[in-house]
A and B are shown apart, each in its own frame.
Chain A
């Protein structure tokens, strides 16, 4: 093989190696969200109610601390898990239970979920229970929304649900 043929061959091989690289670094395009769909995200980060009552420290119980340094009450640390329901147009879309973080179950509980939903008008219902001693859902949001194509709607929680 002559030098010229060899260098031409090398050029061909470089092209065969790099052309697919050039193509594959941005093509073929990937359809992530189908046409006519929107995204609904739920992001809740909330500390549930503590489980159990605080109890008074009874007088006369032995303690090594002087009176002014004693806590008047002993309170439980464990928190309630969060129970969340999402309904769309009356149909359940998501049901989740999030447990508190921390070794003593005394931290916040977190829920995150992303949904792909059809665009148009929908009735959203969000319900959450953050206290095991209470029946039903103390936190509720019901709202009619009109979702546009590729819109991102976020349902978050801070002293109540809100949609953004």
Chain B
């Protein structure tokens, strides 16, 4: 199932990247979109609250007045409120499925996964509370069934459903309580959302401006076209027969009626429990490799690894034996062995005057010394004469292993950001290759969150360690095409070889002309 989901999401990612561009791709910012919808719901909710009357007769009539009396503002606000909350429900579901399909829920990521489960309950509770406030037929339906559902729990002394026997048992205070809940639960949801992203470095809680603008326009269009309306007013003396339901949030309700409250509790609590323990269930996930190790003699306490770690697994402490200096420390519970820290370490430079390359921090699975040795060995085996290319790839992006040839050397690693920019400089200056191509996950959707972003910035000289100015940029390419872009990477490789061959021919011609002139 996961494989199918993964394939589906990869296809969608690719399609959306073409239509929206990677920067606006909604699939890469589902969490940020959920935040955005939350704020839309919050702002419109404040406006609606100003006009809402908390009484049996006032609740329905005040909402009708907002919807009909000021359709141009209040009505639009109500529609934004409803449709944005529904969109948030869908977005959050997609977010959960995508993180599951792409294996982003276990290891150090368990915290975000587990803290997200109560948010689902809070989101549903917020939405149900909102529908309740309208006090129409749908509200009556969910009021009675919610009360019966909670009455099943042994914690209730007096049945909550006794409040909804008929019109005479309902009181105005009930609406005051509902308003309190409809403000309190979303506030708890917001707090939960903050906790959900607390452990995430540079968490994205705002979508791209273009995507946000497009979303608002779409919301406005559907709000004008199909404004959110109430159904017939509630009347507890008459049973609800046929009711229009919001199937996004109220889908468990028909189950409460047909299965009974106990089975519905069992299903929902069981499902939530299964989701909660999912990170620890056995699966075919690749085994966690040993975590990053700090080598104090080569750590100068610069903090670049701390700045680049996407999992906040690195902190600084007093240096073991360099007084007044700092030293990196790796938290083994948070480290995923992506190696981005090794690529950020200034000591990971093959130009250093040492007998054997050492570095301040590296992952045991692929030490920077081994990466250098592998690079040199593989490149020395290539045929001379045709442009040689060093192709670095990541284990989660385009598959590079199959592209190995007489003039292309390939190395795949946990994350392409493990390659220090100095390696590229070294390969070209030592004349080991004519070009270096670095590939990886899709732009804006790195498996290790920030790997390709950091690489772009390092190569654009916006982030340390930078690719030095002396490196000819036409001999270096970064291509973020993802797992589904392997074929495209193959074409990119051929194109790069042709370009390098043309450049080389131009240089030969120039050298010949210079010799001729002499």
Contacts and interface: CB of A to CB of B under 8 A. Distances in A.
A115 to B, nearest CB: 11
Interface string B330-370: 00000000000000000000000000000000000000000
A14 B214 contact: yes
Which bucket holds chain B's interface residue count?
35 or more
Interface string B214-247: 1101110110011011010000111111111111
Contact of A27 (B21, B157, B244): B244
A24 B166 contact: no
A108 B487 CA distance: 73
Interface in A1-41: 1, 6, 9-10, 13-15, 17-19, 21-22, 24-33, 35, 38-39, 41
Contacts of B18: 1, 9
Interface string B16-27: 101111001000
A150 interface: yes
Given A25-B228, A39-B239, 17 more contacts: A6-B20, A10-B19, A13-B20, A14-B214, A14-B218, A19-B222, A21-B86, A22-B226, A24-B247, A24-B248, A29-B244, A30-B242, A32-B242, A43-B165, A151-B238, A152-B238, A164-B168
Contacts of A112: 148, 151, 159, 161-162
Contacts of A152: 165-166, 236-239
Contact of A10 (B168, B214, B242, B257): B214
Contact of B165 (A17, A149, A156): A156
Interface string A27-70: 11111110100110101010000000000000000000000000
Interface of B: 16, 18-21, 24, 82-83, 86-87, 90, 141, 144, 148, 151, 157-159, 161-162, 165-166, 168, 214-215, 217-219, 221-222, 225-226, 228-229, 231, 236-248, 254, 257
A132 interface: no
Contacts of B148: 112, 114
A111 B21 CA distance: 60
The list of the 3 closest CB pairs from A to B, nearest first, reads A112-B159, A9-B19, A14-B218
B84 to A, nearest CB: 10
Contacts of A19: 222
A156 B304 CA distance: 72
A29 B226 contact: no
Interface string A91-126: 000000000010000011011101000000000000
A154 interface: yes
Contact of B241 (A22, A25, A31, A110): A31
Contact of A25 (B83, B242, B257): B83
Contacts of A164: 165-166, 168
A151 B237 CA distance: 7
Interface residues of A, number: 42
B157 A32 contact: no
Given A10-B20, A22-B226, A112-B151, A32 B166 contact: no
Contacts of A150: 238-241
A6 B221 CA distance: 19
A17 B157 CA distance: 44
Best-buried of A21, A27, A43, A111 by chain B (most CB within 10 Å): A21
A136 B8 CA distance: 66
19 contacts: A13-B16, A17-B90, A18-B219, A21-B248, A26-B246, A27-B244, A29-B243, A29-B245, A33-B239, A43-B161, A45-B158, A108-B157, A108-B158, A110-B158, A112-B148, A112-B151, A114-B144, A151-B237, A152-B238
A6 B21 contact: yes
A84 to B, nearest CB: 14
A109 to B, nearest CB: 10
A38 B245 CA distance: 21
Best-buried of A26, A41, A108 by chain B (most CB within 10 Å): A26
